[in-house]
Amino acid sequence: MDYSRLRISLILLLAIIFAGTTGYSVFEDMPVFDAFYMTVITVSTVGFSEIKPLSQVGRIMTVIIIVSGISVLTYTLGQVARIFVEGELSRILGRRKLEKQISKLNDHYIICGFGRIGTVISRELFDEKISFVVIEQDSEKIKQLEEDHFLYLNMDATSEEALLQGGIHKARGIVTAVRSDADNVFVTLTARGLRPDIFVLARASDMKNESKMLKAGASRVVCPYLLGGRRMAQILKKPTVVDFIDTAMMDSKLGLKMEEAVVGPASDLIGKTLIDSQIRPRFGVVIVAIKKPTNEMVFNPTSTEKLESGDTIVVIGKKEDLKRMNEVLG
């Protein structure tokens, strides 16, 4: 919002008060405070009587102060009112716009908490153009969310109302990444109560709380500190393996991705073997594993492995090839 007009009007108002104080002090021989008081009651037109009878010069100066002072004071008050009204309107309109965008979300993720973990998750989803909404109530985090142009709700993530406004009944999953493990358990319980079938990914600061979160209904529990320690150990033991995984999962420069694709119920590949499906030569991908609907994991599947509806194929390939493959499998 532009405050330059308000600054100019305030400077003019102060200049009039200073000039009036100086004028009354010099031409009417008033003490400085009396001259200041006389100037203020003249500008504000409160109707108080003059401190002492004024000379002809003093009266002319009073007329000038009244005309200029009322004009500048009225303009200044108008600018202050405009800023308050526009600020309030922009907040209301901005809030309504956000609520409208959130209400249109479907098959999205709800991120509870925008701390270090929540921030990383949000930016990863944003880069992949995956819809999500963040629930956060810390004012500093809200500023960051607005700068990043992320959809958010300024609410308590442990409340049912927040999850309902976040569209839990249309969401693909929910991530509980608030600071307290107790709050993460509470969010999980609340989410399960509202929608028993939703996928819940919970963050645990202490692995001792993993079992509690699973009992509360979390689908998966992740302990960032444990994962970080294991990753550092793997870098020491198997640096080449870690480099390969990083390249497949996160190195966008090479254009390679490790992706998963689900065989849809209408796919014409159902019942075909991998060699008959021609997935490898047709899309130029490397099939790493197949996860069956029963959760059985088939690593490095052979060419005779049959595809079934609901199979999840884990592959490595180029982004454009993976996109085409997903369209065929779906």
For residue 268, give Cα distances in angstroms to 252, 291, 307.
31, 19, 10
Q: Are 292 and 262 in contact (CB under 8 A)?
A: no
Q: What is the pLDDT of residue 75?
A: 86
C-alpha 316 chain-centroid distance: 31
Q: Is the torsion defined by CA of 63, 66, 71, 72 positive or negative? A: positive
Q: How many CA atoms lie within 13 A of 241 on its CB side?
A: 8
Count of beta carbons in the 10 Å neighbourhood of residue 67: 10
Mean pLDDT by 10-residue block, N- to C-terminus, for the chain (330 residues)? 76 91 90 91 81 86 89 84 68 73 92 93 91 93 90 92 94 93 94 94 89 92 88 88 73 69 84 88 87 89 89 85 77
Q: Domains of the chain by range and CATH? A: 4-100 (1.10.287.70), 105-227 (3.40.50.720), 238-329 (3.30.70.1450)
Q: Are 285 and 325 in contact (CB under 8 A)?
A: yes
Q: Are 157 and 93 in contact (CB under 8 A)?
A: no
Count of beta carbons in the 10 Å neighbourhood of residue 98: 18
Q: Are 201 and 118 in contact (CB under 8 A)?
A: no
Q: What is the pLDDT of residue 1?
A: 53
Structure token digits, residue 311: 């199979």
Q: Are 167 and 108 in contact (CB under 8 A)?
A: yes
Q: What is the pLDDT of residues 192-208, one digit of tens each?
A: 999 999 999 999 988 88
> What distance in Å separates the CA atoms of residue 226 and residue 248, rounded to the nearest whole number?
22
Count of beta carbons in the 10 Å neighbourhood of residue 58: 19
